[in-house]
Amino acid sequence: MENIPINSKEGLHLYVNRDTDPLFLFFDYDVRSKSENMEFQHFHTYYEMMILVDESAGHIIEGQYYNLLRGDIVLLKPGILHKTVYIGKEPTKRFIISFSLKAIESVLRSVRQTLSIFNLDVPIIRLPVDDSEGMLSILFEMYEHCKRSTSYQDLEEIALLMRFLCRLTELAPRNQYTNQTFDHISHKIFSISSFIHKNYMEDLTLDSIAERFFISSCYLSRKFKEVLGFTLVQYIQMTRIRNAQKMLIESNESIQLIAERCGFSSFSQFNRVFDKYCSMPASVFRKKSRKGEADLLRLDL
């Protein structure tokens, strides 16, 4: 696997249909560097797997940090807030596989059973070395197919994706993943960010969170910015906005009700904050997202 040639500027990518289609696949083998770390977590409307090929990286999922080692597989359901954290100066190799199988999920019970692997409490799988290398070999096969151009290339890639998912489901009971131990304050900050993701709809304030986690509000304010790069208020607002975006895409509820469900104290506050981070009103975002035109990665900070 280490001998795969990589163009760090372009990488290798393959699309099968668009992400709004009932059968969709995006295969991406590329490198990313620390400078390309996303500012805040994002979500997709499809399934995604990230498989690390280099020695180490990190992933933040719904505010919780997970350390990654070579061969680790990150499993992300549609709508899950996440971002990869690349570490160090050298670019990091990784596979990304994004897909939707709605076209066959509705008629094949085995597909639904296979996708249930994305419901693990800890969404990371770390396999024994031999099993991990076997899974990477399937990805290498996908890589080789991507370099060709045949009339049946799309079908081959879908077949290899199903082979990978079936094998992963079979090997999941051998999961050996354990998370890294942080220093005390970093651990507490990530516990707080995870708490925010689970309770963003509630009335959250600096003082109430500080009291709940037995830490002074002044110290919390300073350390939260140091560890996560945002003030606590910014983090709460962005988490609420991301969840509002999901509701705007997935439901037909009124925008005012979505604002209430996401913890905003008033509709005017929601409109102001949404426009600040998304550079458009929520009604425009809803229309664009349903046309596949909304940028789900970007927040204006």
Q: Count the neighbouring beta carbons within 10 Å of the beta carbon of residue 11.
A: 15
Look at residue 5 and give its three-state secondary structure: coil
Q: Tell me, letter by letter, the H, E, C secondary structure of 121-160.
A: CCCEECCCHHHHHHHHHHHHHHHHHHCCCCCCHHHHHHHH
Quick one: pLDDT at residue 296? 86
The answer to whether 127 and 171 are in contact (CB under 8 A) is: yes
Low-confidence ranges of the chain (pLDDT < 50): 1-9
Quick one: pLDDT at residue 291? 86
Q: Which CATH architecture has domain 12-174?
A: Sandwich (2.60)
Which residue reads 């689970």 in tokens? 198
Return the CATH number of the domain spanning residue range 184-290. 1.10.10.60
Domain ranges of the chain: 12-174, 184-290
* Closest residue by Cα to residue 236 from 88, 63, 89, 70: 63
